[in-house]
Structure 1
Amino acid sequence: MKDSRASNYRFKHNTDIGQNFLVNQGIVENIVKAAEILDGEVVLEVGPGKGILSRQILKWPCSRLISIEVDHRLSQFLDPLTQEDDRVTIIWEDALRMNFLKDLPCPPSLVIANLPYHITTPIVWKFLEELAPQGLTRMVLMVQREAAVRMIQQEGSKDRCPLGITLEAMGMVRKVLNVPPGAFRPIPKVQSSVIRIDITANRQLPRDPNWRRMLKISFAQRRKTLINNWGIAGIHRDEGLRRLISVGLRETTRAEEVPLNTWLKLSSSFQWSE
C-alpha cells in the first residue's frame, strides 16, 4: 500500500468545494457498519476524498464500488485503490452535473457519502430522482447537523421541509450518530451527523412535477399560511379553501403542520404543476 504521509502534508484542501476530510477511523467504521453492505451489492460513493471511507467499504463483500470525485489532485490517493482492488471504479466528475442513468456503469443499491455540505439538498434530490427508480434501497450520508434535523422532522416542526416530507413518503430516515468537528481535517465550523435513509415505497415520487410543485409553493414563505402561499402562486382563495376543506385542514394551517398522508391526498387530488 502506498505511503501517502508526505502527500498528505503537501495537499492543500479546497474548502470552497467542501473538502473537510474525515480522519477518525472509528467513525469511519461506524458509518460503513451502519450501511450493512450485502454480499454482491453495488455501492456508490460521492466525494471519496483521500479514500478513508473507500478502503473501509472494500472490507465488506460489495461487488463494486463506484466513487465520484471532482478534484483530480486527489488521484495520488485514489488511483492506488484501482490498482489494489478491481472492484473499484473512479469517475472524475462533478456529481451534480452527471446523469446517473447514463454515466454510471451500473445502478447502485447503496450510497455512502461524506457530502460537501453546500450540495446536500440538491444531491439528495438527485439520488432520489435518478437512482431510487433504478433500485436504490438506502443511503448512509454525512451531512451538516441542521440538514439532518430538517430531513428527520415530523409534522409540527418548524424545521420540516419538502425534502424531509418526500423522504418520509419513500421510507424512513434516522440519525446514526453525531460527529464532532475534530473528526475532520481541516476542522469545519459546523457540527455534523450521519443519517441512514431507507427507501421502501413511492420510488417515482421525486420525479412527479405535481408533487414537487405542490411542496415548493406551499413552503415558499414559511410564516404564511398555505392558502396565502397558494394565492401568491396564482390559486384563487376560494379554490384554496376548497382544497383545504377537502382534506380536513383549517384556513390557518401552515405547511409544516400538514401530516404526510394529507400531502399525498393533496397531490393526488389536485393539479399543482404550472
Structure 2
Amino acid sequence: MTGPDLPSLRETVARHGLDARKSLGQHFLLDPAVCARIAALAGALDGRHVIEVGPGPGGLTRALLASAAAEVVAVELDRRAVAALAELAAAHPGRLRVVEGDALKVDPGALVPAPRKIVANLPYNVATPLLVGWLRGAAALEGMTLMFQQEVAERICAAPGAEAYGRLSVLAQWRCRCDMLLRLPPGAFSPPPKVWSAVVGLTPHAEDPGSVLFAAMERTTAAAFGQRRKMLRGALKSLGDAEGLLAAAGIDGTRRAETLTVAEFDTLARVVMKVGGR
C-alpha cells in the first residue's frame, strides 16, 4: 500500500475506533493542509531524524513523511493508534518507525541518531512535563516544533513582567530561543478542545549548562515562583541563606520573581549551584 492508496485520516479514525480520549489528552489534527503547514514550520528536515510524540491517526506523521526527513519515529501510547500507524509504516518502508510506549520515559538521544528534531502535536495532559524533560537534554536536539494549548505557549514565550511569565518561561528561554509560530482555533481539531492552541518553535542555545546547573535552575525557579507574591528574600528561604544567595548574585531581595530576567536567574542559579543551596 503506497501513499496514494492510503485511506483518508477520517477513514482511518473510523476503521480503528480512534475516538479521541480525554484521559490521553487527545485532540487530533485531520486537515492535511494544517498538518503540512506545521511540518513546514519545523524548517529544513533534510537528513534529519524526526521524533513525533502522540501522532494519533497520523495526520502530522503523513506530512512529515512527505518531507525529506531521513526517518520519522512516532512514539504512541494508544494501542489503537499504533495499529493505524502500522498501515502508514507499511506504505513508507524504512522511513517510519512506530514505538509503542510512554514518551515521558523515552530519551530522544537514545531513540534516534543526530541530527534530531522533535515535531509534535503534544497530548495536552503531559505537554509541560515532556517539554521540561526535553529542555534538560536540549543539547542533543537541533530543534523542537511543538503544539500546546495557547495558554501554555504564551507562558513559554512570555517576557519578564508579563502576567504569563513564570518558571516555564525561564526554563524554556534559558535553554532555547522560543518563537510563537502559529495559533489554531478549536475547530482545527477533532474533537475541538475548549481553548485555542499554538505552535512554538524552540531552538537550543549553543551553550549547554549541564545537568548540575539545570537542576540548580529548576530548584531556583521552583522556589522563586512557588510563592509569587513574596519578595525573593522570603520566597527563596527553602534554598538556604536567601539573603546571602541574593547578595552573591547582586539581586535586590525585595524584588519578586516575575521581575527577574532570564540572565538574572542564570546568575542566581549558578550561585545556588556553587553553594549547594537546597
**So what's the TM-score if we normalise by structure 1?**
0.89
Matched-pair contact (CA < 8 Å) for 2:82–2:98:
no
Counterparts of 1:8 and 1:137 in 2: how far apart (Å)? 32
Q: 1:93 aligns with which of 88, 98, 101?
A: 101
Query: Counterpart of 2:62?
Result: 55
Deviation, 1:169, is 1.8
SS at the partner of 1:264?
Answer: helix
Q: What is the 5 A alignment of 1:150-189?
A: 150-189=155-194
Deviation, 1:7, is 4.5
Query: Counterpart of 2:139?
Result: 133
Find out whether 1:252 has 2:257 as its counterpart: no
Deviation per residue, 1:70-112 (Å, 9 max, x gap)? 001113420112111121110000111334444x143552110
Q: 1:18 aligns with which of 4, 25, 30?
A: 25
Distance change >3 Å, CA 254–CA 206, structure 1 → 2: farther
Query: Counterpart of 2:77?
Result: 70
**So what's the TM-score if we normalise by structure 2?**
0.88
Deviation, 1:3, is 2.3
Find out whether 1:266 has 2:268 as its counterpart: yes
Distance change >3 Å, CA 206–CA 173, structure 1 → 2: farther
Identity %: 29
Q: 2:47 aligns with which of 40, 60, 65?
A: 40
SS at the partner of 1:228?
Answer: helix
Structure 1 unaligned blocks of 5 or more = none
Deviation per residue, 1:188-208 (Å, 9 max, x gap)? 111111111111233345663
Counterparts of 2:248 and 2:102 in 1: how far apart (Å)? 44
Deviation, 1:68, is 0.2
Counterparts of 1:204 and 1:251 in 2: how far apart (Å)? 25
Matched-pair contact (CA < 8 Å) for 1:179–1:191:
yes
Query: Counterpart of 1:241?
Result: 243
Matched-pair contact (CA < 8 Å) for 1:209–1:273:
no
Deviation, 1:249, is 2.8
Deviation, 1:29, is 1.8
Distance change >3 Å, CA 273–CA 30, structure 1 → 2: farther
Counterpart residue type for residue 229 of structure 1 = A
Matched-pair contact (CA < 8 Å) for 1:205–1:211:
no
Deviation, 1:12, is 2.4
Task: Report how many residues are paired.
Answer: 267
SS at the partner of 1:219?
Answer: helix
Find out whether 1:226 has 2:232 as its counterpart: yes
Counterparts of 1:83 and 1:25 in 2: how far apart (Å)? 20
Give the alignment's Cα RMSD to 1 decimal.
Answer: 2.0
Query: Counterpart of 1:117?
Result: 124
Deviation, 1:148, is 0.5
Counterparts of 1:187 and 1:69 in 2: how far apart (Å)? 21
Which deviates the most, 166-175 or 178-187?
Answer: 166-175
Query: Counterpart of 2:6?
Result: 2
Structure 2 unaligned blocks of 5 or more = none
Distance change >3 Å, CA 139–CA 101, structure 1 → 2: closer
